[in-house]
A and B are shown apart, each in its own frame.
Chain A
């Protein structure tokens, strides 16, 4: 409610929230593209994830500079910036994982579960967008953050079965094993960072009440 009032104060604040929304929208696009690329083994699409990360980076810079040009009360600015930085960490992780996918062939026994994790990552990014919109409307975020935690728990459970399955897969040398391990680790860590972003959103929501 208070945030709504703050937004009504001026164009600068509205610009920031529009940029933040665009930033999360790009994250949703990147997660969706990653899932499709992994499912269809489409390297061109996987490279698009890296392009989307670059666009996300530029959106992040836009938000930060708008904030320090004087949008919002000073006490709100660190929390707003922190939230944007955490969303950017998701982009970084997604880009790294996309790069591992380009450099290594995902073994067939792992593909199904990895695609499911990518789908749940996409659903989590959508839920982050829903939570952000709800915050702008001054709504309670409890239900949305709970949904994000449910997704995170699901991915956490899947992580161990993917690791167990991966242990059965022979690797030709140290580096191919490391690349596969980093790919799995990156893919299953994205949800942790989205959960952190949702926690920051909750803090932001409370600090504007």
Chain B
């Protein structure tokens, strides 16, 4: 089973110049664990430059007593994002997560980021693979 069947295509993002406080607001409001960090290029087209996770915010800002309103997300974002091709199978995606010690992978179609796959998606796919058994193979 390929990740494109199980990825989430709605990628929530924040501008690189936004504050960590803005990121906290979005993440708490929408129950998200990470946000893509976008940078606008000269052509006006935004690209994903990094990712900011709840872990980054708590460990790098809040635990150090810093004011989240005074820190830009670009200062704490993890870069570069780790991407896999949309045709990658679920087992290989899980292996990349394990190797990189991350919970979410971005999914690309060529140069374009088209989705996101999380650990929960991997587990759901595993249940479906088990339920399908040898059907269609």
Q: Which of A's residues lie within 8 Å of B, judged by CB?
A: 112-113, 116, 119-120, 123, 126-127, 129-130, 143-144, 146-147, 150-151, 154, 157-158, 161
Instruction: Tell me the chain B residues, 1-56 only, with Cβ under 8 Å from chain A.
Output: 4-6, 8-10
18 contacting pairs across A/B (C-beta < 8 A):
A112-B114, A116-B4, A123-B5, A123-B128, A126-B135, A130-B131, A130-B132, A130-B135, A143-B127, A143-B130, A146-B127, A146-B131, A147-B128, A147-B132, A150-B124, A151-B128, A157-B8, A157-B10
Point out the residues of chain A lying under 8 angstroms from B4, CB to CB.
Answer: 116
Given contacts A126-B136, A127-B132, A147-B132, whether A161 and B127 have CB atoms under 8 Å apart is no
Q: Which of A120, A129, A144 is B5 in contact with, Cβ under 8 Å?
A: A120
**A183–B5 Cα gap in the complex (Å)?**
21
Check if A112 sits within 8 Å of B136, measured CB to CB.
Answer: no
B135 touches A119 (CB 8 A): no
In the complex, which residue of chain A has the Cβ closest to the Cβ of B7? A116
Interface Cβ pair total, 8 Å cutoff: 42
What residues make up the interface of B, taking CB atoms closer than 8 Å to A?
Answer: 4-6, 8-10, 114, 124, 127-128, 130-133, 135-136
**Contact, CB under 8 Å: A150 / B9:** no
| B116 nearest CB across to chain A (Å) | 12
Chain A residues near B136: list those with CB within 8 A: 126
Residues in chain A near residue B127, CB distance under 8 A: 143, 146-147, 150
Q: A126 CA to B5 CA in the complex, in Å?
A: 14
Whole-angstrom CA separation of A146 from B5 in the bound complex: 17
A158 to B132 alpha-carbon distance, docked (Å): 23
Give chain B nearest CB distance to A176 CB in angstroms. Answer: 25
A126 to B129, CA, bound (A): 12
Per the bound structure, the CA–CA distance linking A119 and B135 in Å amounts to 16
CB distance from B80 to the nearest CB of A (A): 25
Known A-B contacts A119-B5, A123-B5; A150 and B128 likewise in contact (beta carbons under 8 Å) = yes
Q: How far is the CB of B70 from chain A (nearest CB, A)?
A: 32
Residues A161 and B10 in contact, CB atoms below 8 Å apart: yes
Q: List residues of chain A with CB within 8 A of the CB of B128.
A: 123, 127, 147, 150-151
A contact residues around B8 at 8 Å (CB): 157
**By the criterion CB–CB under 8 Å, are A112 and B9 in contact?**
yes
Kindly list chain A residues whose C-beta atoms are within 8 Å of the C-beta of B5: 116, 119-120, 123
**Beta-carbon contact of B133 and A130 below 8 Å:** yes
| A113 touching B131, Cβ below 8 Å | no
Smallest CB separation, B61 vs chain A (Å): 30
Interfacial chain A residues near B131, Cβ < 8 Å: 127, 130, 143-144, 146-147
Q: Which residues of B have CB within 8 Å of A146?
A: 127, 131
Q: Whole-angstrom distance between the alpha carbons of A92 and B6 in the complex?
A: 27
Closest chain B CB from A180 CB (angstroms): 19
Check if B124 sits within 8 Å of A161, measured CB to CB.
Answer: no
Beta-carbon nearest neighbor of A148 in chain B: B131
Nearest residue (CB) in A for B136 is A126
Task: Find out whether the CB atom of A161 lies under 8 angstroms from the CB atom of B132.
Answer: no
Determine how close the nearest CB of chain B comes to the CB of A24; give it in whole angstroms: 13
Chain A, residue nearest B6 (CB): A154
Nearest residue, chain A, Cβ from B109: A112
Chain B residues within an 8 Å CB radius of A123:
5, 128
Q: Hey, which chain A residues are within 8 Å of B133, CB to CB?
A: 130
